[in-house]
């Protein structure tokens, strides 16, 4: 069976299926890329803001080294400044020493002064110990922690950076359910556009099938035959004789 012998309906169905498969593949890849972009954007926000808060420690350490404040006063002023900082819908910073004692937490002040090296999240992960491992070269830690005002822990991704002169580390992070909510909002728009494209392809194919062009060279008769060129009616006998005489 050649392509010429395949029915128009089959050809249209094949083209529609191929288009839908292509659009679905592109949608899947786009959603994966979109999720990575949203997560990366939140990570960069946390990292850049930790750098800003880290600069507060650098500033007050410089004042201390110049004799403007004692170390105790410089640390207290730096922590008070960082305690008041917020970004991106209330995200905050917290500071711990490199021995595992919480020095400043703006949301859960009851943790201040406590050794948290034995703290586990709901999965049994000793995430504070990972803070120490990552602090020296900076990095992200994935763990579970309650959102402000809530009891149930949710997944959180925090960035940590050490401040060696004062043997401290400063952290901040994003809650992954916020990331997923942001991704879902973008994904709904992308899916709506994709499904609208599929619907247009199907509608255009149906319209084409209903108004398919007729073949050239004749149209179908009601009886199933073809219109054929008709021979002209026979000329009168006298005229035939005259033509015959003229040519003979």
Any idea where the domains of the chain sit in the sequence?
Answer: 45-182
Task: Give the full edge-to-edge strand order of the sheet including 102-104.
Answer: 102-104, 94-97, 168-175, 153-163, 139-146
**Residue pLDDT, tens place only, 39-63:** 788 888 889 999 999 999 999 999 9
Fold of 45-182: Beta-Lactamase (3.30.450)
Asked whether the predicted pLDDT for residue 181 surpasses 50, the reply is yes
> pTM for the whole thing?
0.66
Task: Name the 3-class secondary structure at 135.
Answer: helix
What contacts 39, CB < 8 A, 6 or more positions away? 179, 183
Rounded Cα gap, residues 237 and 233, in angstroms: 12
Residue 248 is predicted with a pLDDT of 46
* 80-131 per-position pLDDT tens digit: 999 999 987 788 999 999 988 999 999 999 999 999 999 999 999 999 889 9
153-163 and 94-97 beta bridge pairing: unpaired
d(CA 8, CA 10): 5
Given this model, what pLDDT does residue 1 score? 52
pLDDT at residue number 92: 94
């Amino acid at each position: 069976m050649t392509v010429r012998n395949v029915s128009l309906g089959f050809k249209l169905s094949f083209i529609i299926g191929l288009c839908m498969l292509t659009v679905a593949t592109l949608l899947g890849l786009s959603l994966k890329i979109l999720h990575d972009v949203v997560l990366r954007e939140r990570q960069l926000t946390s990292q850049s803001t930790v750098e800003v808060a880290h600069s507060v420690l650098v500033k007050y350490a410089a004042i201390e080294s110049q004799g403007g404040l004692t170390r105790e006063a410089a640390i207290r002023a730096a922590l008070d400044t960082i305690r008041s900082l917020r970004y991106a819908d209330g995200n905050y910073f917290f500071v711990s020493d490199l021995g595992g004692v919480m020095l400043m937490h703006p949301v859960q002040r009851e943790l201040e002064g406590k050794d948290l090296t034995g703290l586990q999240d709901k999965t049994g992960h000793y995430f504070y110990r990972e803070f120490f491992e990552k602090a020296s070269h900076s990095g992200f830690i994935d763990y579970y922690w309650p959102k402000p005002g809530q009891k149930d822990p949710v997944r959180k991704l925090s960035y940590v950076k050490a401040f060696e002169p004062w043997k401290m580390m400063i952290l901040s992070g994003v809650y992954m359910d916020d990331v997923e909510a942001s991704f879902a909002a973008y994904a709904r728009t992308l899916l709506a556009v994709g499904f609208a494209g599929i619907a247009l392809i199907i509608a255009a194919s149906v319209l084409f099938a209903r108004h398919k062009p007729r073949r050239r060279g004749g149209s179908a008769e009601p009886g199933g035959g073809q219109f054929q060129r008709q021979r002209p009616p026979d000329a009168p006998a006298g005229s035939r004789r005259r033509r015959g005489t003229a040519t003979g």
